Structures are given as C-alpha cells and as structure tokens.
Amino acid sequence: MTLHPMGIELLQLILLPLLAPAFVGWVKIVKCRMQGRTSPGLLQPYRDIRRLFIKDVVLADNASWIFRVTPYLAFGVILMTAGIIPLISVDLPLAATADIIALVMLFAIVRFFTALAGMDIGTAFGGMGSSREMMISSLAEPAMLMAIFTVSLASSSTSLTQMVSVMANGHFMIRPSLAFSLIAFILIALAETGRIPVDNPATHLELTMIHEAMILEYSGRYLALIEWAGMMKLMVFFSLGIAAFLPWGIAGSGDPLSLLLRGLFFVAKLAVGGVVMVLIETGLAKMRIFRLPEYLGSAFLLATLGMIAFFILE
C-alpha cells in the first residue's frame, strides 16, 4: 500500500503545527539542562498556546484591520511553507507551485505584515521593534538568498524538492562551497528566527528586544497564533537547513512504514539540530544592535564566498 503524494502533502501540513511546539519545548529542555535549571517539560509550549487561546483578547481602540489580520496571515503563510519544504518526502505535488525564492518571499510577507502590525497601534515599543526587524531583515535576506543559491547552483535547480533529490542521490564529494553556505545559513537562521546573538526570545520589556517589541500589543488568541507561527518558523528554518544541506534519508517510496521511519529520522535530525542551536546560544552573548550589520555582513560574506568557491574551485 502506498500513500498518495497529496496524502503525504497533507501529512506534512499537519505535522508542522503539531510538532513545532514540541521542538521548541525540546530546545528549552536542553537549554535548561545546559544552564543547570529544571526545565518546564516538553509539553509546556502546548500548554502556553492553550492558555492563550482560552484568554480574552484585549484590543486597542485604534487597532485597524491590519492588526487583526496579521496573526492569521502569519500562521497561514508559515503553514503554507510546509507544503513545499520536503520534511519526510520529496514527492510533493504542491512543490511545483513555489520555488526557494518564493519561499523567501513568503517569509518576507510575514515580516512585512508583522512590522506593520507593530506600528499599527502607535506605541513607541512597536515602532522601535518594527524598525529594528526591518533593518535586520534587509541585511539577512540577501545573505539568505546567496546561501540558498549556492545549493541551487550545485543541484542546478531552484525547486526545493528537485534540489533535495539531487543532493540526496549525488555521490559523496568534499564541497567547500556548501560548507560555507551552511555556516552562512546558520548565522542567518539565528537572525531570522530571533535567537540569541541577535535577539533574545526569552525576554520581555527590555530595551534590547526586537521581535517581542513588535508583538507586545497582542493578547489572547492573536498572541497564541503569533507565538505558534514563531515556533513553526523556527522549525521551518531547521527543516530547510536539513533539506538543503543534510538531505540524506529523505527520499523514498510512499508506503506508510517507510514514511514512518523517515519521519523518525527527521525528528532525530531536528533533535540534534536543536542541541547544536542550544550550544551556540549558550556559548554566545547577545550582540549590541549596532554590531549586527557586521554579523550579518559576515554571513553575507560567507554566502558569497561559498558561491565564489563553487565557481572557482568546483
């Protein structure tokens, strides 16, 4: 018995929102363990989301439709990316609708609307957060495209599923270009998902916050959706990294047993990735915001070096 490709597609769309809070919970567990604290457990993010859904929404009087639409939009768009990123299969019919450049644009749409929503109420914190987020993204986005393009060059395609199947089936080669773009991608992923050297996901009401400043005015189910979308975004970035740089074991047939095995393998890779991220986060301190252009500049440099290395050396 094999599952229809559309069925796998649906499975992925369900898998992402269900697994994302557990992934964030896992990252928190490892982090707490590293810092010698007791952790709240794997299920705490689920409990947080449920609590927020039960709570009432408090809206500012001057909130416009942008403020109310943004949480749904962010959640929906991030969910859509699960349709085109190969998590457990490369046989995705919807992948033909959007390639990797469209994927970056999808992230940009979310960021654009979140920044607008941050400014919508008119509080000082919201505007500050939006302006910072825009500064970071304007520097991170070209670097991310460059890093991804190197993988595209190596597999001569911009379609994610095509890239993954070429990379997963090719014979082993030492490729410095991919190593450079992987490092660049990790730097950018930390910036885009608001992790430690760039933003601290655990603080509120500090002058250093970026993402939290934008969504400060949200409450209740809106906040739940935004938080959930943030967790999904973190997992999407990890999945993208796994798909582009460590795709082994992702391709295969559609029968349920093999799918289950690949799913478990994917979860194992995610878990290891989470540990790596915690190591990075625990080892580094948050950067001053004016050092960020340098940080993202070096990410861009690495991505470009990867591309140059591809042309010069391979």
* Residue ranges in contact with other proteins by CB under 8 A: 173-174, 176-177, 179-180, 293-294, 297-298, 300-301, 304-305, 308-309, 311-314
Nearer to other proteins, 76 or 297 (CB): 297
- The C-alpha atoms of residue 55 and residue 73 are separated, in whole angstroms, by 20
Nearer to other proteins, 75 or 300 (CB): 300
Provide, rounded to whole angstroms, the least separation between the CB of residue 276 and other proteins: 20
Residue 94: how many other CB atoms lie within 10 Å: 16
Q: Structure tokens of 24?
A: 């964030």
Provide, rounded to whole angstroms, the least separation between the CB of residue 173 and other proteins: 6
Q: DSSP assignment of the chain, as one string?
A: ----HHHHHHHHHHHHHHHHHHHHHHHHHHHHHHTT-----TTHHHHHHHHHHHSPP---TT--HHHHHHHHHHHHHHHHHTTTS-SS-S--GGGGG--HHHHHHHHHHHHHHHHHHHHHS--HHHHHHHHHHHHHHHHHHHHHHHHHHHHHHHHT---HHHHHHHHHHSPP---HHHHHHHHHHHHHHHHHTT-TTT--TT--S-TT-SHHHHTTT--HHHHHHHHHHHHHHHHHHHHHHHHHH--TT------HHHHHHHHHHHHHHHHHHHHHHHHHHHH-PPPPGGGHHHHHHHHHHHHHHHHHHHHHH-
Nearer to other proteins, 208 or 298 (CB): 298
Provide, rounded to whole angstroms, the least separation between the CB of residue 241 and other proteins: 20
Nearer to other proteins, 263 or 293 (CB): 293
- The C-alpha atoms of residue 288 and residue 131 are separated, in whole angstroms, by 16
Provide, rounded to whole angstroms, the least separation between the CB of residue 137 and other proteins: 17
Nearer to other proteins, 228 or 310 (CB): 310
Provide, rounded to whole angstroms, the least separation between the CB of residue 133 and other proteins: 20
Provide, rounded to whole angstroms, the least separation between the CB of residue 178 and other proteins: 11
Nearer to other proteins, 3 or 148 (CB): 148
Nearer to other proteins, 90 or 309 (CB): 309
Provide, rounded to whole angstroms, the least separation between the CB of residue 313 and other proteins: 4
Nearer to other proteins, 67 or 300 (CB): 300
Provide, rounded to whole angstroms, the least separation between the CB of residue 180 and other proteins: 7
